[in-house]
Structure 1
Amino acid sequence: MIFTVGGIKGGTGKTTISTNLAVWLSQQGADVLLVDADEQESASDFTAWREETKKGQLGYTLVQLNGATVRRQIEQLRPKYDHIVIDTGGRDTASQRAALFVSDIYLIPFAPRSYEIWTLSKVQALLGEIMGGRATPLQVFSFLNKADTRGADNSEATDVLRENEELNFVDYPVINRKAFATAASKGLSVFEMIPLDEKAVSEVDALFGHITGIKK
């Protein structure tokens, strides 16, 4: 299965979702490829820190791919892995578009504090173009990431996302917890931190389980 984590707006925590998903899938015994298709190379930075922390035992393979050639390169790599996770930047890039043509699932995290209604029209326009050029439908999941523990921002963003059926909002919010940043600084997923932040683990576990259909 090929997952692209993307969107139009930056600051929504795409790399956090991508890296945690790659580790989560590898923990299920899968052979996983993590693709850094973001010019900022955040997934590559995460993996460099992980190399030091895990002494080279990454649990997945990392490659950097960019531009329109992502589509062809991913098609060539697909048979070699059980799952491919593609981390794209927070803009409408050639890399993201190319990735979406070969992906099975498109994950779109929205951070309520940076939520702006114009983002939706741009995402919808992108999806419309991609869907028109695919032989099979792309499965889309939108969700709240870096969400508040409580407050009106979450509910307001949720209400707007629910109104847009093509974005297929799923109510599995991931709260903006310190555990994610602490883990990432060491190249670790929240599933690997000691001590565990059980709330963070539970949230991401529930989200990934719903999206993939894999039950631990």
Structure 2
Amino acid sequence: MIFTVGGIKGGTGKTTLSTNLTVWLSRQGADVLLVDADEQESASDFTAWREETLKDNIGYTLVQLHGATLRRQVEQMRPKYDHIVIDTGGRDTASQRAALFISDIYLLPFAPRSYEIWTLSKVQALLSEIQGSRATPLQLYSFLNKADTRGPDNSEAIEVLSDNEELNYVDFPIINRKAFATAASKGLSVFEMTPADEKAINEVEALFRHITGIKK
């Protein structure tokens, strides 16, 4: 299965989700390829820190691919892996469009107060173009990431997302917890941190099990 984590605005936590999903799939026993398709190369930085921390097998393979050729390159590598996770930048790029043509699942995180929440017409236009060019529909999941623990911003964002049926909002919010940044600084997922933040683990795992259909 090919997952793309994307969007058209930065700051929504795409790389954190991509790397945690990659590690989680690996921990399920899968052979996973992580594709860094973002020119900022944050997933590559994460992997470099991971190699420093773990010293041995990091649990997945990383490649950097950019531009329209990403589509052909990923299709060539697809038979070698159980899953492929593509981390794209927060812009409408050739890399993200190429990824969406070959992906099975598109993860679209939104942060409360994110400007992207209020410019959904651009997201919808991109999706309409991609869906119209695919042989089979792209499965999309939108959700809140870096959400507040409380307050009105979450509910306002949820209302906007829920009103757009094509975005397929799912109620698996991920709270903006320190554990994610702490883990990432060491090249680790929240599943690997000690002491464990059980709330962070449960939130991310609930989302991942929902989108993949992998049961406990």
- What is the TM-score normalised by the length of structure 2? 0.99
Kindly indicate whether the alpha-carbon contact (under 8 Å) linking 1:8 and 1:119 is maintained by their aligned counterparts in 2. Answer: no
Q: Percent identity?
A: 85
Post-superposition shift, 1:57? 1.5
CA contact (8 A) 2:117 2:157 kept: no
Q: Gapped runs of 5+ residues in structure 2?
A: none
Residue 191 of structure 1 aligns to a residue whose secondary structure is helix
Instruction: Report the secondary structure of 1:57's partner residue.
Output: coil
For residues 134-153 of structure 1, the C-alpha deviation after alignment (integer angstroms, 9 at most, x for no partner) is 00010000000000001100
From the superposition, tell whether residues 136 and 192 of structure 1 become closer, same or farther in structure 2 (CA, over 3 Å): same
Q: CA deviation at 1:23?
A: 0.2
Shift of 1:73: 0.4
Give the drift of 1:215.
1.3
Query: Which position in structure 2 is the counterpart of 1:66?
Result: 66
Partner-residue secondary structure (3-state), 2:44:
helix
Cα displacement (A) at 1:116: 4.2
User: SS where residue 63 of structure 1 aligns?
Assistant: strand
Residue type at the aligned position of 2:182: T
Could you tell me which residue of structure 2 aligns to residue 206 of structure 1?
A: 206
TM-align CA RMSD:
0.8
Equivalent in the alignment of 1:146: 146
Structure 2 vs 1, CA of residues 17 and 184 (structure 1 numbering), >3 Å: closer, same or farther? same
| Corresponding letter in the other structure for 2:2 | I
Per the normalisation by structure 1, the TM-score is 0.99
State the distance in 1 between where 2:184 and 2:79 align. Answer: 29
- 2:31 maps to what in 1? 31
Is the 1:50–1:56 contact (alpha carbons within 8 Å) kept by the matching residues of 2? no
Map of 2:166 onto structure 1? 166
